[in-house]
Each structure stands twice: as C-alpha cells, then as structure tokens.
Amino acid sequence: MSRIVHVTGARPNFPKAAPVLAALRGRAEQVLVHTGQHYDDRLSRVFFDELDLPEPDLNLGAGSGSHAQQTAAVMIGLEQVFTERRPDLVVVYGDINSTLAAALVAAKLQIPVAHVEAGLRSFDLSMPEEVNRRVTDQLSDLLLVTSADAVGHLAREGVPAGRIHFVGNPMIDTLLRHLDRFDPAAARAEFGLPESYLVATLHRPANVDEPEAAGELVSVLHKAAERMPLVIPLHPRGRAGLQKAGLDSSSGVRLLDSLPYTGFLGLVRGAAAVLTDSGGVQEETSVLGVPCLTMRPNTERPVTITHGTNRLVGVDGVLTALDEVLAEPARPRPAPPEQRPPLWDGAAGPRIAQVILDWLAAR
C-alpha cells in the first residue's frame, strides 16, 4: 500500500481533511499530522470530537508567531517527519501557513504533493493566504480544485492540464454529512435568541489588526445590531483588537467564544443573514441557503456569488446590503442540490481519493 501523509494545522483544515481520510481508509497507509498551528481546544480539539477524524498520529506543536516563525517551526517539524516516514505523497489542505510549509518541505525532499482546494485566487497579495496558495500550487503535483474558475487560474499560471482535477468541495461533504445536527432551535435556546437574528464572524488581519479598520468595523456591527440581535463568535485573533475598538455585548450585540462545528453551523443555519470575512463561511452559507455578506474587497470564492448566497460588499456596503437582503423573500434552506455550485454534492472526498490512488498506481 502507498503511504500518504496528510498535513493539517488550523480550524478550516479539519472539515476538508475528514472526508479525504475517510475515503482512503483501508486503501492506503495514512498518517495524519497536526502541525499545532491552532492549539486552543475551541479551534482544534472540538473538530476531532465532532467530525469523523482520527486522532492525529503526530502533533508538531508549532504554535503561533510571526509568519516566518510559524512557517519555519512547521517546516522544521515536517522535515523530520517526512525524512523518517518517506511518504509516497503528502496531501495539504487550503491556504494556511501550515499548507505552504508542508508543500515547501515535501518539494525539497522530492516527495510529491497533492493540494486540496488548489487554484483559488483573490489576486490580493496583501492576504497571506494568497501567497500561500500561489506557492503551494506551483509546488504541487496534483491540484484538486473545488470550482471551475480555479482550473482557469491554474492553466493561466502554466500548470499542465494533466495535473488539475476538478473534484468538488470536500468541506461541503462534511457539511452535508452533518446537516441533521445543525439545529437552529437549539442554537436560539442556548443563546437566548429570538426567531430573527444575525451572525457575524471576523478574523482577517485587514479587518481586525489595524485600529482604524477595526474601529470602522465595530461601528458598522453596532449599527447592524440595531436591525436585530447580532451574535459574534470571536476568533482569538480578533478579540483584543475589536474589543479595544469598542466592540462589546451591548445594544443587541452578543459576543461569544469560538463555537464548535455543529453549534456554529446550527446558529448560521437559522440566521437571517451572516456578515463575515471568512472564506469557509461564504461556502457554508451558500449551501445552507443563508444570505452571506462578505466584508472584504475581494473573494477567492466567486462561485459563492454566482451559484450561492454570497455578496461582496466590503465594510462600507454592509448596512445597505443587509437592508436589501432582509427585505427579500426567504430562500429555501438548505439550497436545493441543483442550486449548489457544481460538484458540491457530498462526494468530493471519494473523488479525491480516486484521483490520488490512480495517480499513485500510475507512477
């Protein structure tokens, strides 16, 4: 059997990796590495408890730091793992620093790399994720893409067509698999919410790190909360900056800690609208049929606009867009299968597994 090392490190990786590991079970020797980029239980442990993810075989404990510190810590840990285990393939997920670190180390050791969620582009190099995506894709042998636009980006960057495989979105496999557990009534009861409420999630450096940007954002959030109660599960990154900028649990705003997977998606499923700067939330709301207002100047996930519920509104445009969205007739929830982006059908994990196994067999 071929030996495959999967590298995960932060919250958004776990629901992407779970269906791939499941589909390869018994068909390859698998090693699951957690780099330790995220280490709080709320950003890591809860996903292993809730999703069908095996315990990581190794946790590198890389932790937080500057980009160079964090990327280097992951690289040093992975170099030892890859040298000792000599995998036939390293599988990396998404666009976080651990993704880039793993691709760099594997490439230098001449170990092939498969990138799940390849080819997304915001064309905004001020986002660390955009740097991570571009470099990871250049170093990958197998580019597993979630949407058709990604195929075009990769082709234009000179990636040979034979390496690119449009397989769909494994994070949506996880979402559809657990759909019955996303319970808006339970979320309303838990957080004492009325029938109509809003959810916001914010953690992008561009929104939460700079005091001026954080101040603008907080003022918009408090105004949004005048329409209906606004629940904000806070990522640890944004907490200090946003609170310093005046965000508090007053006048309709409810601040929460980061939530577990099913609790968060239960809350989102029942929301009148979601305000976010997350990539994954744009995708999840699209499939749940919940209006999403993205508070960024760009998105690497345009399929959530063309085939989903997402609107790119920036911070300035949120309140106008929110009033429009709240006045529209409700959409079916979740979105009917024919209204989802192509191949967001719950079977991306098995397709990814097949591409990987065929590729390994042909080597």
Catalytic site positions: 203
Least spacing, CB of residue 300 vs ligand UD1, in Å:
11
**Given the complex with ligand UD1, which of 30 and 44 has the nearer CB atom?**
44
Q: Directed axis angle between helix 128-139 and helix 97-108, to 10°?
A: 30
**Given the complex with ligand UD1, which of 30 and 35 has the nearer CB atom?**
35
CB 300 within 8 A of CB 145: no
Whole-number Å distance between alpha carbons of 107 and 144: 17
Q: Strand 89-93 relative to strand 113-116: parallel, antiparallel, unpaired?
A: parallel
190's enclosing H/E stretch is helix 184-191
Cis peptide bond prior to 334, omega within 30° of 0 = yes
Q: Directed axis angle between helix 279-288 and helix 261-269, to 10°?
A: 60
Binding segment toward ligand UD1, per CB under 6 A, in 36-44, 268-276, 285-293, 306-314: 36-44
**Given the complex with ligand UD1, which of 30 and 207 has the nearer CB atom?**
207
Query: What residues numbered 130-169 form the site for ligand UD1, per CB under 6 A?
Result: none
- Residue identified by tokens 């989903």 is 308
Out of 39, 213, 255, 319, the residue judged to bind ligand UD1 by CB under 6 A:
39
CB 339 within 8 A of CB 165: no
Binding segment toward ligand UD1, per CB under 6 A, in 92-100, 147-155, 293-301, 302-310: 92-100
Q: Does 284 bind ligand UD1 (CB under 6 A)?
A: no
**Given the complex with ligand UD1, which of 95 and 173 has the nearer CB atom?**
95
Binding segment toward ligand UD1, per CB under 6 A, in 77-85, 116-124, 215-223, 229-237: 229-237
**Given the complex with ligand UD1, which of 43 and 271 has the nearer CB atom?**
43
Whole-number Å distance between alpha carbons of 289 and 241: 31
Whole-number Å distance between alpha carbons of 333 and 169: 19
Least spacing, CB of residue 206 vs ligand UD1, in Å:
11
Q: Does 260 bind ligand UD1 (CB under 6 A)?
A: no
Q: Does 17 bind ligand UD1 (CB under 6 A)?
A: no
Binding site for ligand UD1 (CB under 6 A): 10-12, 37-40, 43, 64, 70, 95-97, 128-129, 203, 235-237
